[in-house]
Amino acid sequence: MLAKLGMEADRFVDAHGRHVLLRGVNLGGDCKVPFAPNGHSYLPSDFADHRTVSFVGRPAPLDELDAHLARIAGWGFNCLRLLTTWEAVEHAGPGQYDEAYLDYYAEVCRRAGRHGLYVFVDFHQDVWSRMSGGDGAPGWTFEAAGLDFTKFHEAGAAHVMQRNYDHRVGGRQESYPLMGWGGNYRMPANGIMWTLFFAGADFAPSATVDGGSVQTYLQDHYLGSMRAVAERVADIDNVIGFDTLNEPGTGYIGRALDSREGLLRGTAWSPLDGLAVASGLSRELPVMALGRGEIGRRRVNEGGVSIWLSGREDPFRVAGAWDADDRGEPVALRPDHFRQVADREVSMERDYMVPFFNRVAHTIRAVRDDWLVFAEVDPFGALRGHGFPEGCPERTVNASHWYDLTALITKSFDPNRMVDVLSGTVREGPVAIEDSYLEGLSKLKAIGDGLNGGAPTLIGECGFQYDMNGAEAYGRWAAGERDPAIWDAQTTALELMYNAFDRLLLSSTQWNYTASNRNDPMVGDGWNQEDLSIWSQDQSTTGDDAGSGGRAIQGFSRPYVRSAQGRIVSQRFDRASLLFEVVIDANSGVDAPTEIYAPAQFYPAPPQVTTQLSDVQWEPDKRLVLVRVAGSGEVRITLRPG
């Protein structure tokens, strides 16, 4: 049975008082889309069935689930960031919860516990909803806001793969560029929805539903769905808490109406552009290229299509933020409309995120008061060092995300040379790349160190694409190669990332494990041309090998201290020599041993353990080295191949 988990200052601590590192995985990428009908985003859809879909079967049908969970646990992971979505729970309509799905989700949590896996619930979203180019919110939320999502494609208000991609042709298509979904955050559908969700009461007071602010209405229903899940998993002790909301958008909050700053690539939208297009005005917008600046212009909404429902109008226009002149050109009447409230400059984190975090904490802790809150701010804000201001709930974890943005955006990785897409800095060699990872992760850890006087940091997402470098590994597999070396680029990238995690003693949940994954860039994780899954059906070729199907296993399944009889001071793994070294500040008052995971691919025989004044045991079934220290003070433990 898993020991109850809590936190003390910047550490996770179990009921025995041991310092715990959580090394886990997100389960899974295809949970963003319905199981029935198949919701993979490369398939065409008009979303007319959005009220009748089912997510039962995501992350896997129950008759297949245990095999996946056993594999994940066998690789040494001890935690799941278990995805769900608002749509999965409340797709049928406001207040109509999918009871079959709630039962299914709870059963997934129970089975995870039987495999020794902690779980925290992730209410996932990307660019608001499937209807606006991502996943997350139910389709009826647009109606509540006064928007007609059936007009988004025609008006150019959102870039939706299901509408832009021709699945009959397949392959890469100019109509849907790599990682193009992220540009939706700047487009009208997302800009409007996120602004209303977090700050509708301030910036759109006329936007009301059932006599109250649309902000309150949307948040109440989101939190109602969260409470429905909480009530269903309340008696499952391996569930340790809830993520607040995956990578929340900021909408137009804090931006000047005519501002187009901060865009790396794609079409550059100002809030004024977005609101004008939403109201049926055509706009010519600059197009940016990575590292090259403006490379052209693009005309949007040439047909003059409004995305507001009949009888509804833009509440920001009603509030006096903007209007159109006699020529039909948009004019900013209040350029700082989204930057000030009553002459006070707003802060997204202080004024909107912290109250939201507290509402999440109140919602889940009304059901079970020992749950942790895994909090996220806008990921780009986190990268810029924007952290958590005062007033966050107690027992809040910094659950920020980290990716090698160069690898993520370009779908390429060279262990010998990296050119940072943000700064242009060149890193030569794996040591320099690892140090750059350490530098970025140190900034995120500092956010946790400043949260409520010190909180654990768990990197909620991190990982690398398996179709990078021109999908080279796919081609080699298709040609008959079965050597793990086909994943060398991913293995090295993961090794450098986990080396940095070890240096900072960070917990993490890697993105991701997808049960429906295929070696096909159009399928991948089932969503928007992404493939970051550490497992694929196409690699699963050996029925008697629990790890069959794994990709780049040597990069992520590696030794680490799962729990320490005291406090972990340092840990380090050298994949070349297979030497693992750990220093713990032992506490003889802790009545449970240090547990070190020792994976079979590095230690096929029981590892040779060197330490002092300690009792050492080996648990072969769980691949765990158990070290019980007699006294207190610093103890060094090393593992070598037996």
Element at 417 (helix H, strand E): strand 417-419
Query: What is the per-residue pLDDT for 160?
Result: 94
Query: In whole numbers, what is the pLDDT of the chain averaged over residues?
Result: 95
Give residues with Cβ within 8 angstroms of 327, minimum separation 6. Answer: none
Give me the residues paired with residue 407 across strands.
none
Query: What is the per-residue pLDDT for 382?
Result: 66
Query: For the residues 73-85, what does the mean pLDDT come to?
Result: 98
| CA–CA gap between residue 442 and residue 435 (Å, rounded) | 10
| CA–CA gap between residue 332 and residue 337 (Å, rounded) | 9
Element at 84 (helix H, strand E): strand 79-85
pLDDT at 213 over 80: yes
Q: Which domains does the chain have, with CATH numbers?
A: 5-137+217-250+364-556 (3.20.20.80), 266-337 (no CATH), 565-640 (2.60.40.1180)
Backbone angles phi, psi at 436, to 5 degrees: -70, -35
Put simply, whether the predicted model's pTM sits higher than 0.85 gets the answer: yes
| CA–CA gap between residue 73 and residue 354 (Å, rounded) | 35
In tens, the pLDDT along 563-573 reads 999 999 999 99
In tens, the pLDDT along 501-527 reads 999 999 999 999 999 999 987 889 999
Query: What is the per-residue pLDDT for 291?
Result: 75
Q: Report CA Rg, the chain.
A: 25
In tens, the pLDDT along 282-316 reads 999 999 887 788 899 999 999 999 999 999 999 99
Give residues with Cβ within 8 angstroms of 479, minimum separation 6. Answer: none
Which residue type, as a one-letter code, is found at position 251?
G
Query: What is the per-residue pLDDT for 169?
Result: 80
Q: Which of 543, 399, 527 is nearest to 462 (CA)?
A: 399
Backbone angles phi, psi at 583, to 5 degrees: -120, 130
Give me the residues paired with residue 124 across strands.
85
Query: What is the per-residue pLDDT for 165?
Result: 85
Count CB neighbours of 141 within 10 A.
27
pLDDT at 543 over 80: no
Lowest-confidence range among 117-126, 342-351, 541-550? 541-550
Of all residues in the chain, the percent with pLDDT exceeding 70 is 99
Query: What is the per-residue pLDDT for 385?
Result: 66
Q: Which of 563, 626, 575, 591 is nearest to 79 (CA)?
A: 563
In tens, the pLDDT along 384-397 reads 767 899 999 999 99
Provide the sign of the torsion angle of the four alpha carbons 89, 92, 97, 103, taken in this order.
negative
pLDDT at 496 over 90: yes
Read off the tokens for 342.
């009553």
Helix 99-114 vs helix 62-74: angle between axes, to the nearest 10 degrees? Answer: 30
